């Protein structure tokens, strides 16, 4: 059982690009969230440029106030990357060639079939007093420093990581958080996130008001909206995991009774993962015929490793000619009802299913905007159809005016329709389960 | 003409929600950008929770180091909004009812047809020593403090603004920046960003070393890498815009002579925008046949408004059957050479071009990973082909091990190949320009 020790944690993000508004600092929010999930509360973060004096001053301030300092940025091989030099000066040490770091570097380059350049050789030089942290996605090692500050009783831990999100994220999850959990005792925090699709945050909070009020005092709820999705995060605190886990599980059972139709998964699962899992468990196959989503559904599905096991492919029919020639949509229907119509989207779904020889097919046709809307069919009008082994389903939606959001919402809505159909579809399909 | 005075500027954003990763701090990036465009460089920003000690400590630190401090957050009427109290304590003053602020408050509520509630009456109480700044979109006044710090010669300006982006943005643009321009003389800062694709940061910096060395002292260069793309940002400083603009333009002319093949655009343009612009200017049409990219290229292209004018569609052929039945790839070639081979990707490009009746076609086939690699064709092996009115081009790449990055890099590489081919392709195509 772990004991709670109050601790002050600070993040320092280094990078000129963060100070002129060209790049939004998403690293800090992501780090804060992951640390939080692991039981560590961040108290402050500071963003500064690639500037020796600023870095030095921030390091000094942080070492006076904080127990744990997490830095990102300035570890690249170019001359504006100065963090390692400043760390040497601050910790009164020097750069030394590190054989282990060099071997990692060599491995990284060899895998890519290129030799280590002179510029990159410097990446294997590390401050003598640090413990290196491996980087599985790049050339810059992370660094762990422990030091004694005269104003403080405890040692201060300072960790320097790369600023490239892809490298930092892997390093934080694979190495830094496990090391921190060993080093610092923390109280038990249990999180569980429920994923919902198809309902907005304010409607959801109206429906859930009474349930939220009766939550135990040690359990809190957060609404985390994203375009087309609202995540509901339950956070429970206690001295041990098991009873908190049990409390949260009980609350989720209640929640599922209140909004069964909107819950599709948990803990940041995506709809494309859930749908992929359902298809692959039953040996079903899928294809898509996409107009307004323009390949986005196919892209979501094929982002998932192993999707080639159930996804056969897609026809993106962005013109009426292609709808006719590749999807056998009737020319008269296109003329009479238009491409954004129930009859056309049903033909698209039925025909792609037949042509690609799959069990399930999805089709979309809508007006993503900003142009193309009319009084009868404003921007946001969208038809979605699903063809199954036994029937064709179609639904109409009116989304908003923003093109990217319309594409995303259509794709999520289509995937959720498919998910429900695979699970709750008619008996003939269910018998295959 | 303005005179350069070195000045240190700091932003302090207050809000618990910013520290648990629930909300990304977009205020700081937006403020930094607007200040920057007005000639003020932000040196640091700090994010802290709604916590008295943290706010007080940050105010103290900032008054020692900075000439101008811009704070946001904690000005609401509820009990977790404590910024005004802390400001009173820091500036050793007290809250006083402010008639002007109350009248603004009344006007705000009257416009919305609701009476001023008791909770909101407190919003008219302001620290006695501050100058109020009007809020055209909300109930909380901004506050301007001037104070003398013993370590410093000049006065320090501290401005407190609401944290709600909609209120803060209006206040910054309408009042704060105009006031700052009067109070502080500012220099002119000009930025220009050049977009490159197809070369990593380190290789680029090797090639550009000599050019970088000869840059005028008032012009600086930053490398801003993203997956598959490196942005080169030139920042120039001076007393007026025109000569700095001219200097930067001259340097970009030189840059284009050194790396013409990698530069595809400027100032955050995307490859899909550039390619779309080129196609649509010439009346050319495009289709894609995608295996490893799984619809991602079609998605990037169709994200752009108006893309239906030049993009006819795509066949995502995620299985060999679909490659044969929809793209007429020869079954013997698939058997003999495999789907990830030059001959297959060329057939895909040529056949989608013919079937969709387009001028240009892109095709991709690769092993995105994590599975499917072999000794001869490791994960990351990728073939890209382009079919034009006169020829078929194909290129092989060896990307890395990460599935999402492989998909992205393949798509960007394919779009850049297409861009070059449209611009520099053989005479027969060029004659159409």
pLDDT digits (tens, 9 = 90+) for B86-110: 999 999 999 999 998 898 888 888 8
Query: Chain A: residue nearest B29 by CA?
Result: A21
Between these two residues, B131 and A152, which has the higher pLDDT value? B131
User: Mean per-residue pLDDT for A86-107?
Assistant: 92
ipTM of the complex: 0.77
Among A19-23, A73-77, B139-143, the minimum mean pLDDT is found in A19-23
pLDDT tens per residue across span B43-62: 999 999 889 999 999 999 89
Identify from B7, B28, B29 which residue to disrupt to test chain A contact, counting A C-beta atoms within 10 A and taking the largest count. Answer: B29
Residue-level pLDDT at A391:
95
What six digits make up the tokens of A21?
């508004």
Interface touch B319/A325, C-beta < 8 Å: no
Where are the strands (E) in A332-380, listed by range? Answer: 360-366
d(CA B251, CA A301): 44
Interface probe for A, chosen from B319, B376, B400, B407 (most Cβ of A below 10 Å), is: B319
Check whether B266 has a pLDDT greater than 50: yes
Q: Which of B376, B379, B374, B373 is nearest to B409 (CA)?
A: B379
Give, in degrees to the nearest 5, the angle at Cα B166 between B162 and B168. Answer: 35
Please report the pLDDT score of residue B22 as a whole number: 64
pLDDT at A7 over 90: no
**Residue B152 pLDDT grade (very low, low, confident, very high; cuts 50, 70, 90):** confident
User: Nearest CA to CA, how far is B276 from chain A (Å)?
Assistant: 14
How far is Cα A74 from Cα B77, in angstroms, rounded to an integer?
41
Q: What pLDDT does A235 receive?
A: 86
User: Pick from A24, A25, A33: which is nearest to B20 by CB?
Assistant: A33
With an 8 Å Cβ cutoff, are B326 and A355 in contact? Answer: yes
Q: For residues A255, A256, A259 and A263, what is the CA-based torsion angle, rounded to 10 degrees?
A: 110
Residue of B nearest to A8 (CA): B54
* Chain-chain contact of B65 with A57 (C-beta, under 8 angstroms): yes
**pLDDT, tens digit, for every residue of B1-33?**
333 345 899 999 998 878 876 667 788 889 998
Of the partner residues A119, A356, A407, the one whose CB lies closest to the CB of residue B206: A119
Q: Contact at 8 Å (CB) between B66 and B9?
A: yes
State whether B294 and A305 contact (CB < 8 Å): no
The whole-angstrom separation of Cα A275 and Cα A277 is 5
Mean pLDDT within A397-425: 92
Report the DSSP pairing between strands B286-290 and B311-317: parallel
Question: How many Cα atoms occupy the beta-carbon half-sphere of B324 within 13 Å?
Answer: 11
């Amino acid at each position: 059982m772990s004991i709670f020790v109050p601790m002050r944690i600070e993040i320092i993000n280094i990078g000129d690009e963060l100070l002129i508004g060209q790049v939004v600092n998403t690293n800090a929010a992501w780090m804060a969230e992951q640390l939080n999930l692991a039981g560590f509360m961040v108290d402050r973060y500071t963003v500064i440029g690639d500037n020796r004096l600023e870095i030095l001053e921030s390091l000094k301030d942080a070492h006076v106030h904080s127990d744990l300092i997490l830095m990102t940025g300035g570890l690249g091989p170019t001359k504006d990357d100065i963090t390692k030099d400043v760390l040497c000066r601050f910790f009164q040490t020097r750069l030394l060639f590190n054989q282990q770091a060099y071997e990692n570097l060599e491995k990284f380059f060899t895998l890519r079939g290129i030799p280590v350049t002179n510029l990159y050789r410097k990446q294997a030089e590390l401050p003598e007093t640090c413990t290196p942290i491996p980087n599985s996605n790049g050339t810059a090692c992370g660094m762990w420093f422990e030091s004694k500050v005269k104003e403080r009783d405890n040692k201060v831990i300072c960790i320097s990581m790369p600023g490239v999100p892809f490298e930092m994220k892997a390093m934080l999850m694979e190495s830094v958080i496990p090391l921190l959990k060993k080093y610092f005792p923390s109280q038990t925090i249990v999180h569980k996130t429920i994923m919902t699709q198809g309902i907005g945050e304010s409607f959801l909070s109206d429906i859930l008001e009474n349930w939220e009020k009766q939550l135990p005092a040690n359990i809190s709820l957060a609404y985390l909206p994203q375009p087309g999705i609202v995540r509901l995060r339950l956070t429970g605190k206690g001295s041990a995991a098991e009873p908190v886990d049990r409390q949260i599980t009980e609350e989720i059972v209640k929640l599922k009774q209140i909004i069964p139709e909107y819950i599709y998964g948990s803990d940041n699962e995506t709809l494309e993962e859930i749908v992929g899992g359902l298809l692959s468990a039953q040996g079903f196959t899928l294809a898509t015929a996409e107009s307004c989503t323009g390949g986005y559904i196919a892209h979501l599905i094929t982002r998932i490793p192993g999707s080639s096991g159930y996804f056969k492919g897609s026809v993106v029919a962005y013109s009426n000619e292609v709808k006719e020639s590749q999807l056998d949509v009737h020319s008269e229907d296109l003329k009479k009802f238009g491409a954004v119509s129930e009859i056309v989207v049903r033909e698209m779904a039925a025909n792609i299913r037949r042509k690609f020889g799959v069990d399930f097919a999805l089709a979309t046709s809508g007006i993503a905007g900003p142009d193309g809307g009319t009084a009868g069919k404003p921007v946001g009008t969208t038809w979605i159809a699903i063809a199954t082994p036994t029937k064709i389903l179609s639904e109409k939606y009116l989304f908003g005016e923003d093109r990217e959001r319309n594409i995303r919402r259509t794709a999520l809505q289509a995937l959720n329709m498919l998910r429900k159909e695979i699970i709750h579809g008619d008996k003939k399909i269910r018998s295959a389960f």
